[in-house]
Structure 1
């Protein structure tokens, strides 16, 4: 399988008055061509930082080390100016709360004209494509004469998907795009991402969420993050049915099963709290919450392939 994106040893920190918070600390993995890669984990694990770092570093974020390659070309992620030629053309991002970022004083058509104009693309060149994309997500072109506040949350989220893919980027990063939607809208929007990949509007998608159940519907593979590290990566079906890392197991156990009453099954929370990323502990960062921790966990476990296509960072997992 061909790699679209290669991330090696990426370190992205946040400057704070108490020191640097190691939000991404030596992260390495690949994104395959034509796949949807889901990234899941608790709040603060670094998944949104990862998505943002691939397109735009905003203070107090700072690049420390590592590299990102897209189709073999190294991206200048540490250079905001140089990254302009890649944003929205090669890599596009739908950030958290994107649907609330639409200018309420501008009609939607005007917002789109401003965006494509910033990338030296004439509106007339993409107008036909725009109308076709609106049709795909079941939106009328009449909304181009409407204001954002006239649309429902689901309609705005579908519109943002259209806007972010107008220039046909190779990689689309979607950050918590379903968190503000009801369950039926979540499913509809999620499946639209899959359709955009299948129709080759984008090559690959990184779908970031705290809700791992959403990824079960659309992701080809899932990467689990914890405290600035990737702790497990594998095919979605295998991750969901046979998680290997203790954190992944605990995360999946915290999900409710459909059709089972709460009186018959109690959800299991994960005891303790994530570590302070300004001064993270030595060794495995999950060890203080892990029921299987031992002295061996005082050393940091590398992310290694324990089965074909399965990567885990845990000393206890067989196959190491």
Structure 2
């Protein structure tokens, strides 16, 4: 049994009388000890998809589909059960630790809170566990009495990871955890996450717009566009041999270090993503696709086999 099975996930936002279909029938699974990366432009549905798994979306969002976590459908679970799952069994590393952490409470207090709530241990044991967690993420246990503003950006992000690991969860969701960090600290955080997943055999979902980051950390990669997964498979293969034109465009948007030609003339992608307030006919990427065909405008596109353990939502992968 998979750690996580997501089937036909759909999320619709009510905004000013309009319905924005932000996620449109997403399917994926995650095994214990596996990392799945989700990539795409802003507005592609990445964060909405993963935050819906633990029902962390605002009241304006309606969610349909199945989210089976260890065989239990969280989409149908009672709120008391969802609160028990959060942090204890599945936790989140949010983007921007400074805004995610409480500025008027010490980092030690914030790490201890889920331990005291979910594990029902005494304060002395919770403090000892907090010290172990801080040490494990490379922050001195003596900093437990510090407030978030007294730490650097990298240290705050490490504290967020310590909080996510506080109750020894089986699933971690990392929502662009390195976006605001410099490249040196980013590499340290990514290495830390990779080691923690390997050592604890937990599952991890990581969101990023940076394919190079995801390929260095994740076993599998899912690329989203207009609320759908348009390609999924082993991350290294998707980066080096993309089967969908959108994945190829994303991979080509990053210049290659040491290659002046790519640095001075990085490939881009003309146009904008489609309006998600209505139905999408044919391939949603067709208006921006450099290799589109006439049938792309009208043919319903879904994920088709595109190689070993790979799927792509492009007509060109069909025989």
Aligned to 2:33: 34
**TM-score scaled to structure 2, two decimals?**
0.93
- 5+ residue gaps in structure 2? none
The structure with the largest helix share of the pair is 2
The yes-or-no answer on 1:197 pairing with 2:197 is yes
Instruction: Tell whether the 8 Å contact from 1:18 to 1:278 is kept in structure 2 after alignment.
Output: no
Instruction: Tell whether the 8 Å contact from 2:15 to 2:60 is kept in structure 1 after alignment.
Output: no
The 1-side partners of 2:145 and 2:34 are apart by 35
- 5+ residue gaps in structure 1? none
Instruction: Tell whether the 8 Å contact from 1:16 to 1:60 is kept in structure 2 after alignment.
Output: no
Instruction: Tell whether the 8 Å contact from 1:57 to 1:77 is kept in structure 2 after alignment.
Output: no
Aligned to 2:46: 47
SS of 1:259's equivalent in the other structure is coil
Alpha-carbon spacing, 1:57–1:156, altered in 2? closer, same or farther (3 Å): closer
The 2-side partners of 1:209 and 1:118 are apart by 31
- Which has the larger displacement, 173-182 or 133-142? 133-142
Q: Residues 53-92 of structure 1 correspond to what in structure 2 (within 5 A)? A: 53-76=52-75, 79-92=78-91
Aligned to 1:128: 128
Q: Residues 163-174 of structure 1 correspond to what in structure 2 (within 5 A)? A: 163-174=163-174
The yes-or-no answer on 1:154 pairing with 2:154 is yes
The 1-side partners of 2:2 and 2:77 are apart by 22
Aligned to 1:180: 180
Instruction: Tell whether the 8 Å contact from 2:255 to 2:263 is kept in structure 1 after alignment.
Output: no
The 1-side partners of 2:101 and 2:175 are apart by 16
Q: Residues 1-320 of structure 1 correspond to what in structure 2 (within 5 A)? A: 3-76=2-75, 79-119=78-118, 121-122=120-121, 123-200=123-200, 203-261=202-260, 265-297=264-296, 298-319=298-319
Q: Tell me the C-alpha RMSD between the 2 structures.
A: 1.9
Alpha-carbon spacing, 1:194–1:77, altered in 2? closer, same or farther (3 Å): farther
Question: What stretches of structure 1 move > 4 A for 4+ residues in a row?
Answer: 262-265
Aligned length: 317
1:64 CA drift (Å):
3.8
**TM-score scaled to structure 1, two decimals?**
0.93
Alpha-carbon spacing, 1:64–1:58, altered in 2? closer, same or farther (3 Å): closer
Instruction: Tell whether the 8 Å contact from 1:38 to 1:223 is kept in structure 2 after alignment.
Output: yes
